[in-house]
Amino acid sequence: MKNKNFKKYFKQYEFSNVWAMLKNNQRDPHICNAHFKDKLVVITGATSGIGRITAHKFASQGAHLLCINRNLQKSEQLKQEIEEQHMVSCSYKIADLSILADIHRVADELAQLNSPIDVLIHNAGVYLTKKEVTGDGLEKVLVVHYLSSFIINYKLRQKLKQQKQARIILINSEGHRFAAWGLQVSDLNWDKRRYSGLKSYGSAKLAQLQTMLLFNEQFKNSGVSIVAMHPGAVKSDTGQENGVIYKWFKRNMLDKTLKPTNISAEAIYYLGVSDELDNMGGKFFNLTTQEEPAPPALDYEEAKRLWPISLKLAQLDEDRTDSSIPK
Ligand SMILES: NC(=O)c1ccc[n+]([C@@H]2O[C@H](COP(=O)([O-])OP(=O)(O)OC[C@H]3O[C@@H](n4cnc5c(N)ncnc54)[C@H](OP(=O)(O)O)[C@@H]3O)[C@@H](O)[C@H]2O)c1
């Protein structure tokens, strides 16, 4: 399938941006020492890897947690661990973020919460070397990495704006660069192209960056900011759904090159809490360093094309009363 945007993006790539990314990959995150006492942090996928350590980090600074996880037993264990160690509350909702009905349910429940959500962290993720199709007929990586955050943000817009202050952090990835020539919006589901783990991951992360541009516009002057970040190349539990060869490769090769997840947690805490982020909505960070993402991630026109397609895939009704939404 030919990519019509190849020429456009090719001209926009600058070596200096790639060089900056390579240098940023070596940097440590800024540290924020401020407390976050009695604030509410909602985080998806808090039962393993980056999400788990990040939940501990926020709790250690006094924040209460509401985790959106798929595994009951792991959620109960995390709750006990956090409440005992940090003397804050850690509640959870069980939802499989690859299932549209579950995503809609938790999004509605979050929208009806009485208390303000101070920080919303979209962290849950999955890496699949082989294509999996969900019961909704959607490619799984697209749903977990992209549509779940899209639906939750869409349904929480009004609540967050009414609060007049909130931060949304998209745990994105330098992997968005795997979709180097942009999205195939007519085949987001990988029905017409050969599937690859890296490309589907890259496309889902790119889709998230593109619609961040539009969410950011909708949140302008509302006190809500939305940012995306690469959490470092860190040793987590990712990839467990794949076959033995991938798992062997990860354990014996990849993991040896990866950093500890506490750098991700420090960076996410900084992005969630530091005053320096107050006017940084719509930006991409490599840990805590602001960075230029790949050209397709800044393509506002493509983002506007993606928006109605995402609404349709996500089974969301277009909100005609909200004038800030792209038509
Ligand atoms: N690790 C890295 O180097 C790296 C680099 C760039 C970006 N990231 C991003 O960082 C985020 C966290 O990844 P990680 O590396 O920490 O991976 P991880 O250790 O595998 O953690 C992923 C989390 O997402 C949850 N999850 C997966 N599928 C789900 C579903 N269908 N419904 C609900 N929850 C689901 C997992 O739940 P279970 O505990 O039940 O499995 C787990 O809590 C992802 O968005 C990933 O793309 C990671």
Q: Tens of pLDDT along 183-196?
A: 999 999 999 999 99
Total domain count for the chain?
Answer: 1
Mean pLDDT of the chain: 94
**CA 76 / ligand 1 centre spacing (Å):** 18
pTM value? Answer: 0.96
* Of 242 and 262, more confident: 262
The answer as to whether 320 is a domain residue is: no
Tracing tokens 């929480």 back to the chain, one arrives at: 156
pLDDT digits (tens, 9 = 90+) for 33-88: 999 999 999 999 999 999 999 999 999 999 999 999 999 999 999 999 999 999 99
pLDDT band of 323, cuts 50, 70, 90: low
Least confident residue range of 173-187, 265-279, 311-325: 311-325
Average pLDDT over residues 173-201: 95
Domain that holds residue 120: 6-25+32-313
Which CATH number do you get for residue 248?
A: 3.40.50.720
Rounded to 5°, angle at Cα 117 from 112 and 312? 60
Residue 197 falls within a domain, yes or no? yes
Does residue 284 lie within any of the structural domains?
Answer: yes
**Closest by CA position to 32, among listed 281, 322, 327, 278:** 278
User: For atom 6 of ligand 1, which residue has the closest CA?
Assistant: 173
pLDDT at 175: 97
For residue 327, tell me if it sits in a domain: no
- 323 alpha carbon – ligand 1 mean position (Å): 34
- Does the residue 296 lie in any domain? yes
pLDDT at 239: 78
In a domain, 324, yes or no: no
Where does ligand 1 bind, in terms of residues with CB under 6 Å? Answer: 45, 47-51, 69-71, 74, 96-98, 123-126, 144, 171, 173, 230-231, 233-234, 236-238
What single string gives the DSSP state of each residue in 194-231? Answer: ---HHHHHHHHHHHHHHHHHHHHHHTTTTTEEEEEEE-
256 pLDDT tier (thresholds 50, 70, 90): confident
Any domain includes 319: no
Is residue 232 in some structural domain? Answer: yes
| pLDDT of 216 strictly over 80 | yes
Strand order of the sheet with strand 166-171? 90-94, 64-69, 40-44, 119-122, 166-171, 224-230, 284-286, 289-291
Residues 305-315, mean pLDDT to the nearest whole number = 96
